[in-house]
């Protein structure tokens, strides 16, 4: 048994609105030949507010990659601990109860990972395993859930802490005038999230299966170009159409366990943009309301990378969750193009957990998605 408990999410205090974003774009890029296109794309994201770790004046400056990364490390150490404490409280556990920390982030770099600092400063045992995930981008939230699930399957009494720390504003590149980069300036926001997967006990999503799917020959559709100035976000215009490949992969994963993915009770998915959610609705034959938690995250906080699935999941918890044993899906999408998917049932924590379906052995077949 592995229960994904309620996440804790923290957003920084500095806020920028859609109107302010559009105004800045008009002022800073007045002579750009495709400014009108960039403005339309930003408006179409549906992002009304975003949170930033620095005031907008500091965000727009670029003191160099070294200074930017120092801000990342300092802000992570300042903001992650309180979020972790709340996530542990949601799971009724303390640091000493955690057996592994999965840390996901794609917006800064630390070695050793922040996991080492957390273990040294927050009371985690020195034997706590560390699993940093840095290069799955927005898909890393879903991957973290999957790896935590795998660990609890291997060690049934273990508990795993997941931490997602994304300061996307530190990747702002004022001299990069590519339309995809201009769009990202109006889409991404900053957030920290944490959640615990308990091997025994707890209330939340009882994880049953997880798997991955890579869309072939798309590894350059979402990427970082690493330059002297830091990470430059590269976005191919074909990305919004990838649900045509990923939705069937999700169907196949469910079918392997006799689950109809278009007939589930709840969906917690990465909100990369409204087109992603709209296409999922179309491909799975679902009403827009089934993705209301992801849409709320996108509207109020923007694309917060790997933290999106935890923010949407927190909103699901806040809304009361679902009926005991209700079936649902958690999915993150990111570079690769990669989908990281988990299937599970809602467990209200008061009775016996729902009986999980038989765990299939992974096989080397033509099935698009395999996993635990």
Strands 159-167 vs 100-104: parallel, antiparallel or unpaired: parallel
CB atoms within 10 A of CB 72: 22
Told to judge if 106 belongs to the known catalytic residues of this protein, a careful annotator would answer: no
Structure-derived torsion over alpha carbons of residues 184, 180, 183, 296, reported in degrees to the nearest 10: -60
The runs of H, that is alpha helices, within 91-197 are: 114-122, 140-154, 179-185
Measured CA to CA, the distance from residue 71 to residue 69 in angstroms comes to 5
94 backbone dihedrals φ, ψ, rounded to 5°: -115, 170
- Contact criterion met (CB below 8 Å) for 141 and 331: no
Beta bridge partners of 14: 52
Beta bridge partners of 126: none
DSSP assignment string, 175-238: T---HHHHHHHTTB-EEEEEEEEESS--SEEEEEEEEEEEEEEETTTEEEEEETTEEEEEE-TT
Measured CA to CA, the distance from residue 251 to residue 329 in angstroms comes to 11
* CA-to-CA separations, 307 to 13, 141, 333, in angstroms, rounded: 17, 6, 12
**Given 5, 106, 138, 152, the catalytic residue:** 138
- Residue linked to tokens 């609705």: 281
Measured CA to CA, the distance from residue 338 to residue 367 in angstroms comes to 16
Measured CA to CA, the distance from residue 251 to residue 264 in angstroms comes to 11
Strands 222-227 vs 204-218: parallel, antiparallel or unpaired: unpaired
Please choose, from the candidates 140, 11, 134, 144, the residue with its C-alpha nearest in 3D space to the C-alpha of residue 79. 11
Which DSSP letter does residue 170 get? G
Give the catalytic positions in this structure. Answer: 138
């Amino acid at each position: 048994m592995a229960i994904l408990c309620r996440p804790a999410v923290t957003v920084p205090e500095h806020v920028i609105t859609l109107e302010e974003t559009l105004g800045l774009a008009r002022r800073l890029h007045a002579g750009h030949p495709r400014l009108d296109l960039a403005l339309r794309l930003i408006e179409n994201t549906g992002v009304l507010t975003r949170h930033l770790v620095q005031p907008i004046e500091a965000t727009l400056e670029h003191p160099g990659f070294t200074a930017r990364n120092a801000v990342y490390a300092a802000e992570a150490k300042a903001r992650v601990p309180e979020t972790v404490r709340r996530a542990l409280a949601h799971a009724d556990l303390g640091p000493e109860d955690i057996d592994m920390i999965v840390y996901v982030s794609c917006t800064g770099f630390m070695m050793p990972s922040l996991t080492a600092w957390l273990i040294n400063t927050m009371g985690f045992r020195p034997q706590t395993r560390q699993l940093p995930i840095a290069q799955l981008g927005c898909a890393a939230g879903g991957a973290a859930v999957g790896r935590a699930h795998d660990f609890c399957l291997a060690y049934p009494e273990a508990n795993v802490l997941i931490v997602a720390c994304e300061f996307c504003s530190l990747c702002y590149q004022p001299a990069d005038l590519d339309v995809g980069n201009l769009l990202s300036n109006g889409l991404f926001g900053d957030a920290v999230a944490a959640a615990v997967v308990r091997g025994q006990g707890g209330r939340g999503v009882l994880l049953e299966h997880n798997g991955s799917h890579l869309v072939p020959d798309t590894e350059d559709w979402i990427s970082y170009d690493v330059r002297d100035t830091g990470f430059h976000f590269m976005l191919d215009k074909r990305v919004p159409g990838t649900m045509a490949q990923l939705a069937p992969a999700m169907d196949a994963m469910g079918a392997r366990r006799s689950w109809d993915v278009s007939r589930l009770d709840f969906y917690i998915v990465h909100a990369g943009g409204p087109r992603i959610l709209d296409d999922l609705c179309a491909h799975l034959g679902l009403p827009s309301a089934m993705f209301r938690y992801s849409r709320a995250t996108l509207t109020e906080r923007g694309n917060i990378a790997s933290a999106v699935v935890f923010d949407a999941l927190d909103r699901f918890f806040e809304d009361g969750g679902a009926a005991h044993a209700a079936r649902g899906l958690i999915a993150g999408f990111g570079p690769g193009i990669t989908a990281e998917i988990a299937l599970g049932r809602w467990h209200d924590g008061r009775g016996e957990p729902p009986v999980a379906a038989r765990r299939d052995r992974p096989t080397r077949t033509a099935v698009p998605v395999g996993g635990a």
